[in-house]
């Protein structure tokens, strides 16, 4: 039997006016108990973000709280990780009483009827949970209070070592890639421009229906774009696939890869290192940018007068955004549209500090350190969340309307969606295929239903993540359930999904204008939409499941269309 972990209290302080919730490193105390873990920065780490105070309802302090597993073994799973209050909050500055407002339940654990918040997912070593929104009733007369919590974390069985076990998944266009728990990168889908990153001979219009290992790992993250991808190694970006309009970020634009007459760009079948920052007025080759996250996008077809392209954006440790590649739609956010080819990372205009960024087909969106969403790029479908600037493009970040506070945003074809701190999903842009998740009446953009202002997806569930494809949107709840809306062949609900009707933009096909559940008993920890397919990582086994149909089955790793989530075929051992 494994040794018992001591019960250790995490003592936390909430500063109401300054908007901060912090937990100090305590000393171990109390009796040993196998499922009680504590010790900030020792066994677990609690972190807060999006802290806000409202005077409504007598005063409410809210914060997103995450739990990170710092142990060398998995925790949670079938029995969720729970953070429970050892004693009631104590006011240390001001007068009045503070109570926990929205606990998931109460239970007698170390005391009597203690409120707790549950995190229903397996946390692998080093992994951070999806955020949960905590709320306290705090009268205006209170400026600071303290509280003590314990983390009840049953140790979980680690995923099976058989086959590939993934920690992250990415998808775009006709490809998908994932990073395993061991840091290996694997990609599948279209192969004609070196999108797999394995160094194999190019196969024009070919496809890899099983995952192929990306060369030169290990990888911290991979982001799949339009006929190419980029990955991070020790924070530095490496790219492979097409070099159209400088997508590889090497400082120059290569040629000679082949392809159609409209797409005769260079490419690399192996990862190549992205050059240093492009400083305005100078040539490429400035200081290297160390990234904490990246996201890739682009589109091959010419739509609304915008030609093909591939681009990548990322954030450094300071929250500053940099982008490179195609700028024909202004998706790089550098304040200008030309030159269209930007072969080196260039800083996005403005002094914004972002914490998450998402590249779409022709536009980019990001969430700043206050939870505010900003978008830039093509605006012809309302996907920027504000009225289209002159020329139909936003060349610098513009604030999304509505005043919502977001945890995460996802950019797709002509639509954008975000998950708020309350766990609601709000979407804006094209609704021609039901991508916005509502059947409410709205205006039109370029002949398709659209909404420039965010509209709430018609669901009362609490969501953890959202992803947007070209004609569909999917999201997972805090319990790991997958729901999708949009074109019915991409929803994972069967060949003729529930709650569908003829699409407003094409009455030959059917669409779901409100969320439908994917037909599976599997729960998921992450989800990613390609053009007309979706892939997700199973919570119990860390395997990849995909679904989708029509012209782009390559992104499913299955070799043929699938109408319900189906585990991909892994490479032969």
**Residue 171 three-state SS:** strand
What is the pLDDT confidence band of residue 5, given thresholds at 50, 70 and 90? very low
pLDDT value at residue 365 = 98
pTM of the model: 0.85
Q: Which of 425-429, 549-553, 563-567 has the highest mean pLDDT?
A: 425-429
pLDDT value at residue 202 = 47
61-75, 325-339, 413-427, 551-565: least confident range: 551-565
Residue that the structure tokens 């339940």 belong to? 105
In this predicted model, what pLDDT tens digit does every residue of 385-429 receive, in sequence order?
999 898 899 999 999 999 999 999 999 999 999 999 999 999 999
Q: CATH assignment of 10-152?
A: 2.60.40
What is the pLDDT confidence band of residue 555, given thresholds at 50, 70 and 90? low
Domains 10-152 and 166-244+269-279+290-567 share a fold: no
Question: Quick one: tokens of 502?
Answer: 């003829």
- Cα–Cα dist 332/313, whole Å: 7
Residue 557 pLDDT more than 90?
no
DSSP-derived letter for residue 6 is B
Q: What percent of the chain has pLDDT over 90?
A: 55
Cβ-based neighbour number of residue 514 at 10 Å? 16
Residue 194 pLDDT more than 80?
yes
- Cα–Cα dist 126/573, whole Å: 28
- Cα–Cα dist 400/397, whole Å: 9
Summary mean pLDDT of the chain = 85
- Cα–Cα dist 386/1, whole Å: 59
Question: Quick one: tokens of 469?
Answer: 């494809």
Question: Quick one: tokens of 284?
Answer: 């490429």
Q: Where are the domains of the chain?
A: 10-152, 166-244+269-279+290-567
Give one DSSP letter per residue of 528-562, joined into a string: EE-SSEEEEEETTT--EEEEE-TT-GGGGTSSS-E
Answer for the pair 483, 459: CB distance below 8 angstroms, yes or no: yes
Answer for the pair 327, 311: CB distance below 8 angstroms, yes or no: yes
Question: Quick one: tokens of 275?
Answer: 């050059």
Question: Quick one: tokens of 203?
Answer: 């196969």
Residue 115 pLDDT more than 60?
yes
In this predicted model, what pLDDT tens digit does every residue of 304-337 receive, in sequence order?
444 567 999 999 999 999 999 999 889 999 998 8
Return the bridge partners of 295, or none: 313
- Cα–Cα dist 533/465, whole Å: 17
Residue 262 pLDDT more than 50?
no
- Cα–Cα dist 26/254, whole Å: 56
- Cα–Cα dist 502/11, whole Å: 55
37-41, 130-134, 202-206: least confident range: 37-41
pLDDT value at residue 123 = 85
Answer for the pair 357, 313: CB distance below 8 angstroms, yes or no: yes
pLDDT value at residue 484 = 97
Say how many residues make up the chain: 573
Q: Looking at per-residue confidence, does 30 or 268 come out higher? A: 268
DSSP-derived letter for residue 568 is P
Answer for the pair 84, 114: CB distance below 8 angstroms, yes or no: yes
pLDDT value at residue 148 = 85
The CATH class of the 166-244+269-279+290-567 domain is: mainly beta
- Cα–Cα dist 452/400, whole Å: 9
Q: What sign has the CA pseudo-torsion 253, 258, 260, 261?
A: positive
Distance from chain centroid for Cα 174: 18
Cβ-based neighbour number of residue 479 at 10 Å? 16
- Cα–Cα dist 84/104, whole Å: 10
What is the pLDDT confidence band of residue 448, given thresholds at 50, 70 and 90? confident
372-376, 442-446, 460-464, 527-531: least confident range: 442-446
Question: Quick one: tokens of 57?
Answer: 């309802």
Answer for the pair 213, 184: CB distance below 8 angstroms, yes or no: yes
pLDDT value at residue 69 = 85
């Amino acid at each position: 039997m494994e040794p018992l972990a001591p019960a250790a209290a995490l003592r936390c302080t909430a500063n109401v006016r300054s908007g901060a919730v912090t937990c100090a490193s305590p000393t171990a105390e109390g009796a040993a108990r196998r499922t009680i873990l504590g010790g900030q920065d020792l066994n677990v780490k609690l972190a807060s973000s999006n802290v806000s105070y409202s005077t409504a309802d007598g005063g409410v302090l809210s914060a997103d709280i995450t739990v990170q597993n710092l142990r060398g073994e998995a925790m949670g799973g079938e029995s969720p990780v729970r953070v429970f209050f050892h004693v009631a909050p104590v006011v240390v500055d001001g007068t009045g009483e503070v109570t926990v407002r929205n606990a998931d339940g109460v239970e007698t654990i170390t005391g009597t009827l203690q409120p707790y918040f549950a995190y229903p997912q397996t946390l692998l070593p080093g992994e951070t949970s999806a955020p949960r929104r905590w709320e306290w009733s705090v009268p205006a007369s209170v400026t600071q209070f303290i509280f003590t919590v314990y983390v009840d974390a049953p140790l979980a069985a680690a995923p099976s070592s058989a086959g590939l076990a993934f920690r992250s998944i990415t998808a775009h266009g006709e490809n998908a890639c994932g990073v395993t728990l061991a840091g290996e990168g694997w990609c599948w889908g279209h192969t004609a421009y070196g999108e797999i990153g394995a160094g194999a001979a190019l196969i024009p219009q070919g496809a890899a229906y099983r995952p192929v290992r990306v060369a030169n790992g290990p990888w911290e993250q991979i982001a799949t774009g339009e006929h190419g991808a980029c990955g991070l190694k020790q924070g530095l970006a490496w790219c492979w696939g097409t070099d159209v309009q400088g997508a590889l970020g090497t400082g120059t634009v290569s040629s000679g890869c082949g392809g159609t007459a409209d797409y005769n760009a260079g490419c690399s079948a192996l990862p190549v290192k992205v050059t240093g920052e492009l400083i305005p007025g100078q040539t490429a080759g400035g200081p290297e940018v160390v990234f904490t996250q990246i996201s890739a996008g682009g589109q091959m077809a010419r739509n609304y007068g915008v030609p093909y392209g591939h681009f990548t954006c990322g954030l450094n440790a300071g929250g500053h955004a940099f982008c490179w590649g195609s700028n024909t739609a202004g998706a790089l956010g550098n304040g200008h549209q030309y030159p269209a080819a930007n072969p080196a990372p260039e800083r996005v205009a403005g002094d914004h500090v972002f914490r998450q960024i998402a590249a779409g087909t022709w536009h980019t969106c990001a969430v700043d350190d206050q939870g505010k969403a900003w978008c830039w790029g093509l605006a012809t479908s309302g996907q920027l969340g504000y009225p289209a600037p002159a020329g139909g493009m936003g060349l610098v970040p513009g604030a999304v309307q509505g005043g919502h506070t977001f945890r995460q945003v996802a950019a797709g074809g002509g639509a954008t969606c975000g998950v708020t701190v309350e766990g609601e999903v709000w979407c804006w842009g094209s609704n021609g295929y039901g991508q916005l998740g509502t059947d409410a009446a709205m205006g039109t953009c370029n002949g398709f239903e659209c909404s420039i202002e965010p509209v709430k997806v018609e669901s009362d569930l609490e969501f953890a993540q959202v992803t947007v494809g070209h004609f569909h949107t999917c999201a997972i709840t805090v319990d790991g359930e997958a729901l999708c809306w949009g074109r019915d062949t991409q929803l994972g609900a069967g060949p003729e999904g529930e709650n569908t009707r003829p699409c407003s933009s094409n009455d030959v096909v059917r669409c779901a204008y409100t969320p439908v559940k994917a037909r599976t008993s599997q729960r998921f920890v992450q989800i990613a939409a390609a053009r007309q397919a979706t892939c997700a990582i199973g919570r119990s086994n860390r395997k990849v499941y995909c679904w989708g149909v029509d012209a782009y089955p390559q992104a499913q790793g299955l070799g043929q269309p699938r109408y319900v989530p189906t585990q991909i075929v892994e490479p032969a051992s």
